[in-house]
Amino acid sequence: MTDIVFLRDVTESDLPIFFEQQLDPEATEMAAFPSRDRDAFMAHWAKILADDSVIVKAILFDGQVAGNIVCFEMSSKREVGYWIGKEYWGKGIATKALAAFLDHVKTRPLYAHVAKHNTGSRRVLEKCGFTIVGEDKGFPDVRGQEIEEFILKLG
Ligand SMILES: CC(C)(COP(=O)(O)OP(=O)(O)OC[C@H]1O[C@@H](n2cnc3c(N)ncnc32)[C@H](O)[C@@H]1OP(=O)(O)O)[C@@H](O)C(=O)NCCC(=O)NCCS
């Protein structure tokens, strides 16, 4: 066993793991992003995997699927996003995964939208060189409240 974090292409067998990871209520609260039911989740991932403009990787830690990391286009800008399963939090995995992803994805600038209360994710981005360049309002959450977000940029 090693503490190595590495990225590889996503396979079909990763999807049930990602599905479980995005169901966690603490994670959805952090990300201010609602979980999808199984059908919606699988349809969403089928679209992601079929879209050549999306770069997506599974994050492996100790050989286990710890999460995923993605780069996609939104409003003509390249955005990054990631999700780590709760049992893997606090081990530096997101930071190492994002650093490795940034070596692989050379496009700059890159952007990220982060809920203002998501201190962990903001820290991950800042440790990898992103800085806050603005603010935005995200989609209303499950309680119908608008989400205040920071916009971060690299390059
Ligand atoms: C946010 C998230 C990606 C962090 O992943 P992680 O692997 O635990 O992060 P790391 O271990 O690399 O931590 C990086 C830094 O953030 C800090 N951090 C992590 N989680 C934190 C939290 N909940 N509160 C405060 N700081 C936190 C760590 O202490 C570390 O800082 P340090 O090096 O100064 O000590 C993970 O909790 C997650 O996937 N959450 C749900 C989905 C989500 O929020 N995705 C991002 C949407 S923008």
Cα separation of the two ends of the chain: 35
Compute the distance from residue 96 Cα to the ligand 1 centre, in Å: 11
pLDDT value at 65 more than 90: yes
Ligand 1 lined by 60 (C-beta under 6 Å): no
Q: What is the mean pLDDT of the chain?
A: 95
113 neighbors 136 (Cβ within 8 angstroms): yes
Compute the distance from residue 120 Cα to the ligand 1 centre, in Å: 3
Q: Which residue has the tokens 């079909």?
A: 12
φ, ψ of residue 68 in degrees (nearest 5): -145, 160
pLDDT in tens, 122-155: 999 999 999 999 999 987 665 667 899 999 999 9
pLDDT in tens, 69-119: 999 999 999 999 999 999 999 999 999 999 999 999 999 999 999 999 999
pTM of the model: 0.96
